[in-house]
Amino acid sequence: MSLLDDLARWRHSGAISASQHDAIASIVRKERFSVFTELTALLYLGVVSLVAGVGWTARSYFAELGDLTILAAIAIACVVAFGYCFLRGSPYSNEQRKATGFGFDYVLYFGCLMLGAELGYVEFRFHLLQDNWDHYLLVSSIAYFALAYRFDNEIVLSLALSTLAGWFGFRLVRWPWIPGSLRAYALAYAATVALVGASLSRARIKAHFLQTYLHVAVNVSLAALASGVMTRPLSIAYLGGLVVIAATSIAAGLKFGRFAFVIYGVVYAYVGISDVLMDGVRSGTAMLAYFTLSAAAVVIGLVMLARRFGRTA
C-alpha cells in the first residue's frame, strides 16, 4: 500500500482534513507548492534589515556624511516610496482590496520605516522636542494609520498600533498614579485598541482590519494580566481578570473559527493558573511532574481542537 493510499484512508476516516490531504499529497507527488508565506516573511525581514542598516550608517557616520546629506537622502527615499505608492495604488475604498502588485506592500513598508528613521535622526541630532520627544511616536503613528487605511495594509496597521503603544506608554508612565509598572497602561491601551477597532468595523470602515486590532488587544491585555498574577498582593484580582478575558478569547475563537485566539486564551490562562498553583511549592520533583503532565495535557488538547478546526474548515 502506497503513502497516497494511506492519505486517502486517513482522509475518509477524518484523521486529516481535505485541505491537509491535498497539501501532503502534492508533496508526496513532488508537485510544486506555494512558499508565498515564507517569501513574504523574508522580504519584510529584508526591508527591516535594510532600514536598520540605514539607521546604523547615519548614526555612526553622521560626522563624515553631514546632517544635510543624511536627512536629504532619507527624505528622497520616503518621497520616492510614497510617490510610487500613490501613483500605483488603487483608489481608496472602505472594503478590502486586491493586492496592487507583488512589490507594492514592501515599498510602502519601506517608506514607513524610512519616515520613522527620518524623525528619529532629527531628534537624535537636534533634540527639538527634548523631554517631549515621544511626540515623534504619536506623529509617526498617525501617519502609519493614515497610510494603512489608504492602501489597505495590515502590516502597516500593526506598525501603527505598536508605535502608538510606545507613545501611550511614555505618556502614562509619567503620571504619578502609576507606580513604576506598565500594567495599567497596557490594559488601558488594549481597551482603547479594541474599542477603536470595533467602532470602525461597525461603521464599515475597513471592517476586515478588526482582527488585527483584536490580535493586539487580546495579547497585550492577557500578557498584562498574566504578569500581574505574579505580583502576590494582587494576584487573585489579576487572576480573575485573566480567566475572564482568556475564556472570552477562547469562546470567540471557537465561535468565529479563529484558532489563534483559542491558543492565546489557553496559553496565557495556563501560565497564570500554574503560577498560582505552584506558589509555595518548593519540591523540584513536584514542580517537574506538574509542568510535564499539565503542559502535555494542554498541548494534546490544542492539537485535538486544531484537528476539529481542520475538519470543519
Query: CA-CA distance, 227 to 182, in Å (whole number)?
Result: 10
- pLDDT recorded at residue 87: 93
Of 113, 117, 116, the C-alpha closest to 58 is 117
CA distances from 249 to 124, 210, 229, 260 (A): 41, 14, 18, 9
- Higher model confidence: residue 215 or residue 312? 215
pLDDT (tens digit per residue) in 94-144: 998 877 766 888 899 999 999 998 988 888 888 887 777 778 888 999 999
Q: How far apart are CA 153 and CA 148, in angstroms?
A: 5
Q: Is the distance from CB of 100 to CB of 90 less than 8 angstroms?
A: yes
Question: Which pLDDT score, from 0 to 100, does residue 175 have?
Answer: 43
43 and 110 Cβ atoms separated by less than 8 Å: no
Residues 2-44: pLDDT tens digits? Answer: 666 766 776 777 767 777 767 666 665 655 545 445 555 666 6
Please tell me the total number of residues recorded for the chain in this structure: 313
pLDDT of residue 80: 95
The full set of domain ranges for the chain reads 1-32, 34-158, 175-313
Return the amino acid letter for 23: A
> Rounded CA gap, 80 and 67, in Å?
20
